[in-house]
Structure formats: C-alpha cells, structure tokens
Structure 1
Amino acid sequence: MPLFSYSVQEKIFAAVEAIPPLAKWVNRLLINRIVKRARSRPHPLSTAHDFVSWKGLTDRRWSGRHLPPGVRTTMPEVDDLLDLFERRDSTQRLCPKSTCLFPAFAQYLTDGFLRTETDNLIAKGETADTRLRRNTSNHEIDMCTLYGRTQAQTDALRLSSETRGEKGRLRSQKLNEEEYSPFLYSDGQVDPDFAVLDRPLGESDLTDELRAKLFAVGGDRVNSVPQVAMLNTLFLREHNRLAGEIETAHPDWSDERIFETARNTVIVIFIKMVVEDYINHIAPVPFKLKADPSVAWRAPWNKPNWITVEFSLLYRWHALIPDTLQWDATPQPVSSTFMNNALLLKAGLLQSFRLISATPAGEVGPRNTAKPLLHVEKSSIEQDRFCQLASYSDYRNYLGQSRPTHWSNISTDPDVATKLSKLYDDPRNVDFHVGLFCEDRVPNSPLPSLILSFVALDAFSQALTNPLLSEHVFRPSTFSEPGWRAIQSTNVLRDIVDRNVAGGAGDTFISMTRQDWVPE
C-alpha cells in the first residue's frame, strides 16, 4: 500500500514539478531506482548455452537471460493451465484506466525489437528446433517497423530523390487526400521494388481483397491490425513532414543527409513517447517521468542493448484487446479487423485515433483471454518451458519482491488461487508466464506487479541507452533546427497527430488513458 493516497501524491508531485531542478533530480532518482532493481547488462548467459560462452556473450541472434535456466519436475500439463487464462463468461473485464491506444502502441513498440525467430527467417546454419531461443532483432528502439530491419529494406522504402521537394522522403501515396505507405502488392503480386521486405506474417491466409491493401512497411507485423498500421502511418507522415522542413532550412543538403537527419529525429521523438506517454500511463504514481538522456550518461546500467527471452514472453497481452472495435458506426468483431487496412483507409487517420481512444481496453490478468486466443497462451507457456526459464518466484526475488509463500500472494481471487493450488505443489514452482498473468493488477496501473516492474526496467534501460541519446550525440546539430524543435515540443502522441492531419486534431480526444478514469 502506498504511504499517501493518489490525490495527495498528485499534490506532492505537482509541487515538485513546479521546481524544475527538483523535478529533474526526482526524475533521475526514480529512473535509477527502477533500473537498478536488476543486474546491469551484459548478462552472463543467453539462450545459446546454459553456461557462459563466447557465443553466448557475443551472438545476439540468441536471446539474453536475466536468470540461469531453471529445471523443475512434476509440472502440470500445459493444456490444464489454460483454464487460468480462459474467460469465465461472455463478458470481458475492461481496464478502468486504458484505452485501446495503449495496446496499439505497446504492440507497435515491441514489434520493432521483440522478434522471436519465425520459420521463414531461421538464421543460416541453425535448425528450426531451437528457433524459440533465437531472435531476428536489432536490439534497439530503431523504428525498424517504419524504416526496415536492414539497409536493403531501408533503401527499398526510401524515395531516394535529389529533386527539390522530394529530398529525404520515404515513399508514400495519396489516398482520399491523405498520405499512406505504398501498397505491397501490385496486380496481385508483390511489387518487385519491395521484394526485399519481410513478408507480412499471416498473409498466406488472406483474401485477394485484404492482400491488396497491405502496406509496404519495415515490419512484418505492422499490417497485423489497422490500429498498428495507423501508428506507422503517423510516423511516416512525421518523417516526411520533418524532411520537408529540414530541406527548407538546408536547401543545399543532399537527400541522404536530410533522410538520416529526419530519421534521427523520428527515433528520438518515438523514444520520448515511450517514456513520457506510454510509461507514464502504466505508472501507478502521478509524477510525470521525463526522457532525460543525461540520466543514463554516467549510469552503470548504460550498456549495449540485448533483448531477453523473459521480456519477449511478458509482453503477451492478448487480454487487452476487446472483442469488438468501433471503426465506424458499427462495432467490428476483432477477428474481422485482422490485416484489414481498409478500415483505416475508410476512417482516415484522425478518426482512427479518435475511435481507438474512445474504446476501453481489456484488463490484463487471469481468466480474461478470449477462447480463440488461447492457443497463443499455450505457445507462450511452451516457449517458457522450452527455454527452461526459472520460476515465477525466482523472478520476483530477482526484482526485489518477496517470494510467494501462499497462493493468495499470487492472486487474491479465491478461484484463481484455488486453481493454482490444484495444479502446482508449491507457490514457488509456478511457471514464470503463468505467475505473471495470474497476479492482481496494480492499483492505478493497467498491469500486474511483476510485469509492471519488468516493463519499466527494460523500457528505461533500453530506451535511454539509445546511441542517439548519448552524451556526445544528443545535440541540436544531430537533428537540425526543425528536428530539435520538434523533439522539444513533443510530449504525447496527440502532439504528433495534431501536426499530421489536415486542420490539426482540434478538440479530438487522443489518449492512452480513458476520459472517465478515476484514480483508485
């Protein structure tokens, strides 16, 4: 329990934020406290071996590990555990705090670097049987969803023109007087210009009508749902808008310099959104954390990024997605929105943000996953065991939380606690993935306790260590005058929408936090 009520905390932090030097000091204190809960990188182990090896310390195709492998016996069958995830009745529990913009942003963010190796991208010389321990990540918040994962993909997505008015731009098209990425398919076939891009996951099951509206983008998951394509569209427009401003300010600059400067700016703006919009939304306290790069400049945790297998597994937030989404006057079953960019094109960008922000998200927690998504929960538990992750209890201890000694320490829901007691012989043997999602939601946050701690830890330790935020790089000359101005003036996603839709956003409500949210 917090020492003060939320309303009292608001007053205290409002006083702190009114004194900039004090606010900066508190911001540094809180971020360091969050990150120092865990060991700093480099992690001694990865999924390459269960012992320290050069390969495990250098080959980042293998996911990192926070804890050594944990071998446990007499574990319950995976199918028996699904009852802990499946929704009990037809009514989905909704999150009292979050709108659907929150899970949309979470998916767009994590799809850029949480990339467990897929069958079509198996590393050369490796076999499929260890695929779940490997990744295809760049291990950075680098906006590869927009710019591509490789240089060849980036080249394919660029306009690459030295013509005045075109320098530095990403390729795009105008539809209904709005700017979008070009389509991936042309005349029923993948456009040869985009053959180098990773193919969208799930495209083989699509109708020709849906396939025709897939965008040519940097990420193979961007087309998965229209609200994620919506975010990519926003940052496409922001890149091209910035390129135009930079070209105007520096007409003598080449296409290459303008592109790279706009790209630098968009990546940093996105990192600001991660901290100042996304992390502040999940935080259970009202202090507004800032993406202050100097926090990391002398910090012992400022080490090169390496995505861990634990981080990949804890982001399986399927319960956040409601059963229906309102893309127009009629609510759409979520199954009908899969890879359906026509919904985005029909609504337009501003209306899409309005509708997503008006829709409450589901609640992360036990027994709130729709039956059609249970197979994803099953595969998550199987990956947990295949990678031999330590127990949920071990991870609580690792992050400075008490180990569970009673089932009620995991969940205060008596039905969930009873089910856990029947499946496991001891609270300390509960699977990592199962324990994560059986926990109670933290008051004033959309997330349970251990997930919240891991998300905050990894967000700060991987966002603020970005090379663009380093001490000798984060300066106006890296981003140009227009870029630096955009970075300083952007605090929430709504700021970016406002400057990238005709006439601005006006009084449109755009937020990850529900308008009707009342602190607990």
Structure 2
Amino acid sequence: MSDWLEARLFRAAGNLIDGWAWLSGEASAAVIGKAVGSTRNRPHPWSSFSDYTCWQGLTDRSYLARHLPPVDVPVQPDPERVRALFARPDGEAQISRKSTCLFPAFAQYLTDGFLRTVPGQVDRTTSNHEIDLCTLYGRTPAQTRALRLKSEEAGRRGLLKSRMDGAEEFPPFLYATGTKALSDPEFAILDAPLVDEALPQAQLDTLFAIGGDRANSTPFTAMMNTLFLREHNRIARHLQTLHPDWNDERVFQVARNIVIVLFIKIVVEHYINHITPMPFSLRADPSVAWHAEWNRPNWMTVEFSLLYRWHALMPDAIAWPTGDIPLRGFIANNAPLLAVGLDAAFSAAASQPAAKLGARNTAAALLHIEDRAVLQARTNRLAPYNAYRVAFGMEPARDFSEISSNPQIAATLQDLYGDPDHVEFYPGLMAEDRVKDSPLPGLLLRMVAVDAFSQALTNPLLSEHVWNEATFTPWGFDLIKRTSKLGDVLARNVPHRGPTPVEMTQADWRYGDPDGPVA
C-alpha cells in the first residue's frame, strides 16, 4: 500500500471516529488509558530528597518526584562536547512541516506554570504541582490578592488588575516608567521576573505584573497571559450581570474556576491533539479519570522538568508584523506585543512555522540552556536513557542507529558515549527520531502523554463531585463545553479578529506528511 493511500485511509478512519460522539469518547478514553498505563502510577517511591524511600521524600512536595531511583552514570562527557549534539551545524534551522510557532509558545506558557526548579537548587521546586494558571493568578494566596482589583463597585467585582492601551487590555506594568520602583506596592509579593540583571531600562518598562516569574520571558508567553487575563475579566463582568447579588470574592472565585478549566480543555483538545499522531481528536472528558487506577495526587518529577526543554522548536528569528526580530531580541521584551496588539501577535505565532524538535537544531542563542539541562540531569543523578525506555514499555536501544536513523547523530552519540547503555537521559531523549505524524520523538512523546493526561485530568475542578453547574454556574459550564481551542478564547477578547487561523498545526499539513527523522 502506498504511503499516500495509507495516510488517506488513516485520516478517513479518524474522521469516522470524530463523527460519532460515543465512538469518539470511547476511542479517546482508550488512548488516554493506554498512554498513562505505559509506566508505574504515582506515588513514586523516590524523590530528589534522598536516594532511598523515606517519609519526607513521600510527602514534602518542595522536592521533585522521580520516575527512577538516582544512579551514577558512568560516562559524562564535557558539556562543551555534548553541545555539538544540539547545535545547528550550519546555523540554519530545520523547519517543521507540521507545527507553527503557536505550539512552542503555548508549551512554554503551560509548563512555566508547574515546572519550577529553584535556581541553584535543581532538586527543589516551588511548584504547586497543578495546572492552576499560577502564571496568571500567582502561586500563593498573597500573590493572588496583589493581582486582584478587589472592588465591590458594580462592574468591577471579581476583576484582575489591568490597564487599557486604547481598545486593548493588558496586565499592569510591573515597574514605574524609567525606574526600578514597583508601579504598585502590592506587587512586592510577586515572584521577581527571571530576567538578566543588566536588562535595559527600556525593556524593564515593558514587563507586566503577572503571576509567573517566567511569563515575561518573551512576547509569546506575555500574549498568552494577556489573553487569559482578558478572558477572566470578561467572564467576571458577565457573572456580575447574571448574579448582581454576588460580592467581589465570589465573582472572582467562580471566574477563576471557569478559566482554569477552559485552559485545561485547551491543553488536551488543542495542544495535545497537535502532539498526538492519532487521526481523531482526543477529548477532555473528566469522567475518564474518576475511577481510573492512575488517578493520584499530582507531583512533578525531575524527569518531567527536563524533558520539556524544547529549545530546538524556536527559529533563529521571529517573523513579526513590524519586521523580523532576532531570537535574542525577543527575550524579556514586551514592546513587540504592545506595538501590534493581541490579535496580531497570535496571528504572527500561528503564521510562522516552528523549527523541528530534536538534535542538531538548537539556535546559538539558546545553546547555553542545553548545557544547563545536561548538568541538571547529572546533578539529579538521572538514570541513563535506555533505563527510561524500559521503564516506559519500550525496548532498549542496542545500537546507536536504533536511537537515530541519521548517521551523523548516531556517530556523535557513539563518539560521546561509546555504548548505547551509557547515553545520558537528556541527550538520548532529544536525539531520537520523531514519531510519524507527531512533532515529538518517541520516548519523549510517551513520557509527555503519561504526565499530561495523568496530571491534567486529575485536577480538583474536574473531579466527580465538583464537575457540575454549581461550581461553574450553568452559563460558565456551557462556556467550558463550547471552548476547545485558543482561537475560541481569542475571538471573544479582541476588538476585531483577523483572518489568520489560530492554530498550532500548519494549514497545509496532512497526515503522512510528517517532519521525518531527525536531520
């Protein structure tokens, strides 16, 4: 059978499944169950607290959990040598056939909310271990209070602080213009933005006061936060009209419930559906997790905090309505977003192809972060790559060609490690061939699926006795059901929505037309 015909039949089967609500639900549940069931369920017996199982390691979530116990990896080449595995050999990005830049933009915003290692203490975390939009609402109740408007006036109840720039609503600025003084004394409780201390004042002036210390990292992450701030305030204003007797606190809390679940739906039905090679759409059906064996309290792992280092997805320059912006100029600078507005920013992200994820494709501006990832894995004494293949139901690689079909990558791995069993977790993860019809390599795809489903669908707001109209109001419950993509939210929150589809998948991509093996 030709590849063309196979792809057509594959997609036809997917369309058939999507066309039947019952069949779609069953297929989605089967895929999710199989994905999560590929490895051990939580709780994990190990954490970054100690080399052995102990009470604090099982209960203190300021440490990261571990899929596998720590080991001393026998071969650890100098990071400068390992860097050759990641660098773009000719300085030119290999461009993805499937993904747009909206994909890495959303991935970064999502993971910055719960993958939070402490600088200088890579075994520790400040994560809440939930998909809770702490990038918008803050990690702690005190941070949330600082970000809220806190008004009992009609039309202002339940709102987050914001500022208007013409017809556009943005978060307030963190600093008073031209100074390093906070624009609002309450913002002192927020996590300081993780930016270069020598950042020019002109860029400091553009940083927003928001819940996440990483949400100012690029205009892409800032636009995500701006979108969900607008959606929260839009929902809060509408709840006030439906329930004029509600006070500020209740309006805020119900709006927050709705927005968090909207976000989780987008995680599954937009983001994960872009990642999966399945020809039918997976559904964010909370009931899948209600009685599942894998429904356990969330706890982020050391491995999960490393496998999401998807720097290779970023091209060397960002195509922006005002002109191309080199990658270095796109960091910690919200001026490009403020210059064009929210709709144009999303359209730019959805119009530009992302780069391919994998070896030999990280931009020079981000190579130093690859060095840190290699060292972080070593500090946490992660088991070798092959051990994780086995732990997630895959056969170990016995030859370097089984990791990558690219002879240059296989040769680099052999030169660095000598034996497939010595390949370190992070380099091996990124060196693998990508899965057909997915932007991700094989082991990475499997590990993302385990954590994504088992930690998104176990959110307390999706639990059996909380998932109802009493929690979200009938109007809010209906809004959740009608939302599955970022474009749904954007259309509700921009003055005039442009014609560019807000998609993570390129418009002309078809099944059977994948990125192919790592080049």
**Length-normalised TM-score, structure 1:** 0.96
Tell me the secondary structure at the aligned position of residue 361 of structure 1: strand
Cα deviation 1:46-99 (Å, max 9, x = unaligned):
010110000100000110000111223243222211111111102110111000
CA drift at 1:337 = 1.4
Equivalent position amino acid for 1:171 in 2? K
Equivalent position amino acid for 1:105 in 2? F
| Structure 2 counterpart of 1:124 | none
1:37–1:399 CA contact under 8 A, matched in 2: yes
Give matches, 1:404-419, under 5 Å.
404-419=397-412
Which residue of 128, 153, 157 maps to 1:163?
153
2:351–2:500 CA contact under 8 A, matched in 1: no
CA drift at 1:425 = 2.5
- Give the whole-Å Cα distance in 1 for the aligned partners of 2:307 and 2:374: 11
Which residue of 158, 162, 182 maps to 1:172?
162
CA drift at 1:381 = 0.7
1:6–1:285 CA contact under 8 A, matched in 2: no
| Structure 1 counterpart of 2:182 | 190
Gaps of 5+ in 2: 514-519
Tell me the secondary structure at the aligned position of residue 306 of structure 2: helix
Give matches, 1:505-516, under 5 Å.
505-516=497-508
CA drift at 1:203 = 4.7
Cα deviation 1:173-231 (Å, max 9, x = unaligned):
00132100000011511231211101100152211111111100000001110011000
Between stretches 280-289 and 6-15, larger displacement belongs to 6-15
Between stretches 20-29 and 134-143, larger displacement belongs to 20-29
Between stretches 447-456 and 98-107, larger displacement belongs to 447-456
CA drift at 1:506 = 4.9
| Structure 2 counterpart of 1:340 | 333
- Report the aligned-residue RMSD: 1.5
CA drift at 1:420 = 1.1
2:50–2:57 CA contact under 8 A, matched in 1: yes
- Give the whole-Å Cα distance in 2 for the aligned partners of 1:71 and 1:5: 45
2:65–2:299 CA contact under 8 A, matched in 1: yes
1:358 aligns with 2:318: no
1:328–1:347 CA contact under 8 A, matched in 2: yes
Equivalent position amino acid for 1:400 in 2? G
| Structure 2 counterpart of 1:91 | 92
2:47–2:57 CA contact under 8 A, matched in 1: yes
1:498–1:506 CA contact under 8 A, matched in 2: no
CA drift at 1:429 = 1.3
| Structure 2 counterpart of 1:284 | 277
| Structure 1 counterpart of 2:242 | 249
| Structure 2 counterpart of 1:388 | 381
Cα deviation 1:341-386 (Å, max 9, x = unaligned):
1100111001111111111111111111122322111111111111
Between stretches 483-492 and 274-283, larger displacement belongs to 483-492
1:165–1:244 CA contact under 8 A, matched in 2: yes
- Give the whole-Å Cα distance in 2 for the aligned partners of 1:183 and 1:455: 34
| Structure 2 counterpart of 1:122 | none
Between stretches 185-194 and 361-370, larger displacement belongs to 185-194
| Structure 2 counterpart of 1:126 | none
1:71–1:390 CA contact under 8 A, matched in 2: yes
- Give the whole-Å Cα distance in 2 for the aligned partners of 1:346 and 1:372: 24
1:67–1:389 CA contact under 8 A, matched in 2: yes
| Structure 1 counterpart of 2:114 | 113
Give matches, 1:97-496, under 5 Å.
97-119=98-120, 131-187=121-177, 188=179, 189-191=181-183, 192-496=185-489
Cα deviation 1:154-175 (Å, max 9, x = unaligned):
0000001110000100000001
- Give the whole-Å Cα distance in 1 for the aligned partners of 2:422 and 2:96: 29
**Number of paired residues?**
508
- Give the whole-Å Cα distance in 1 for the aligned partners of 2:222 and 2:256: 18
Seen in structure 2, the aligned counterparts of structure 1 residues 139 and 391 have a Cα distance that, compared at 3 Å, is same
Cα deviation 1:239-296 (Å, max 9, x = unaligned):
0000011111100011101100000000000000000000000111211000000000
**Length-normalised TM-score, structure 2:** 0.96
The sequence identity of aligned pairs, in percent, is 51
Equivalent position amino acid for 1:358 in 2? S
Tell me the secondary structure at the aligned position of residue 98 of structure 2: strand
Seen in structure 2, the aligned counterparts of structure 1 residues 371 and 508 have a Cα distance that, compared at 3 Å, is closer
CA drift at 1:24 = 1.3
- Give the whole-Å Cα distance in 2 for the aligned partners of 1:369 and 1:36: 32
| Structure 2 counterpart of 1:123 | none
1:6–1:286 CA contact under 8 A, matched in 2: no
| Structure 2 counterpart of 1:17 | 18
| Structure 1 counterpart of 2:51 | 50
Equivalent position amino acid for 1:200 in 2? P
2:99–2:505 CA contact under 8 A, matched in 1: yes
| Structure 2 counterpart of 1:67 | 68
| Structure 2 counterpart of 1:80 | 81
Equivalent position amino acid for 1:136 in 2? T
Cα deviation 1:117-143 (Å, max 9, x = unaligned):
125xxxxxxxxxxx1111110000000
2:337–2:345 CA contact under 8 A, matched in 1: yes
- Give the whole-Å Cα distance in 1 for the aligned partners of 2:119 and 2:469: 39
Cα deviation 1:470-502 (Å, max 9, x = unaligned):
000000110112211210110111000001011
- Give the whole-Å Cα distance in 2 for the aligned partners of 1:24 and 1:363: 31
Equivalent position amino acid for 2:157 in 1? K
1:442–1:448 CA contact under 8 A, matched in 2: yes
